[in-house]
Amino acid sequence: MTDTMRDMMSDMTNAAPANAPRIALETRALRKAFGGITATDNVSFKLPEGARHALIGPNGAGKTTFVNLLSGVLPPTSGEIFLNGQNVTEWTVRARSRAGLARTFQINQLYADLTPLESVLIAINERENAATSWFQRLGARADLVDEAAALLERLNLADVMYARVGALAYGRQRLLEIAIALAARPTVLLLDEPAAGVPEGERDQILDVVAALPADVSLILIEHDMDLVFRFAKTISVLVNGALFVEGTREEIARDPRVRQVYLGEEGVGHHV
């Protein structure tokens, strides 16, 4: 057998099955250290296209650090990150965004003096390179204004699109963050605790919007609210001390005695499944 034939056979053996889902986001042995503290410890992770995946763990588990690595806010100490098959480990936040990765933040990053329409329109203009400088001809293209208005309507924000962002109820500000992220037309969306700080009476709107997000967008939810996690996620990863502790379906995670011990608690798991 020639070397060429051996190489071909090896490629065939290592290839994914024909019916296997494509991988939208992947990390390989990803590690982040801050001095002597390892915040992300050799995490290898795959997010299939169209997945609904939750990332949970106790406080200090490294969830936000992991998301910051995925989005480019932090550089890894070692390891690699792939977005839709491209190695983006060295890419900037903006480059990853243009390649299809969007995120929301645990603490919102909104401009209080803008309107929701202006906020979403800025994101759309950035995506389309439709403005050459800050606020230059922001509403010059009627098609982009219409797109922004339609997106706000989808997220139940049409009635406040001309209001001041700082005057909105906090739950609606969280919805606006999701609208801004969706304005980039991402293939992968990272939602970092979208219900954090939202009053109980406003949480259902967040739940409904997350459940109705486009099926072709692959989603990772980082969340402490287990009602939201079990309602949203098909699969769940548990981080402990920066390492991937266990991964499985929501039913498997709920029944796993190791997860009960380190995170959820016996009563909490049974109640939510």
So what's the pLDDT on residue 24? 97
Tens digit of pLDDT per residue, the chain (273 long)?
Answer: 555 444 444 444 445 555 678 999 999 999 999 999 999 999 999 999 999 999 998 888 899 999 999 999 999 999 999 999 999 999 999 999 999 999 998 777 799 999 999 999 999 988 887 665 444 555 567 889 999 999 999 999 999 999 999 999 999 999 999 999 999 999 999 999 888 888 887 888 888 888 888 889 999 999 877 778 888 899 999 999 999 999 999 899 988 888 878 765 544 444 343
So what's the pLDDT on residue 90? 96
So what's the pLDDT on residue 172? 93
Q: What is the CA radius of gyration of the chain?
A: 20
Strands (E), 149-250: 188-192, 218-222, 235-240, 243-249
Residue whose token pair is 């797109």 = 147
So what's the pLDDT on residue 211? 84
What tokens appear for 63 in the block?
A: 């969830």
* Fold adopted by 22-272: Rossmann fold (3.40.50)
Against a cut of 0.95, is the pTM above it?
no
Domain ranges of the chain: 22-272
Cβ–Cβ under 8 Å, residues 23 and 69? no
Q: Biggest alpha carbon distance in the chain?
A: 73
Rounded Cα–Cα distance for residues 222 and 95 (Å): 22
DSSP state of 39: E
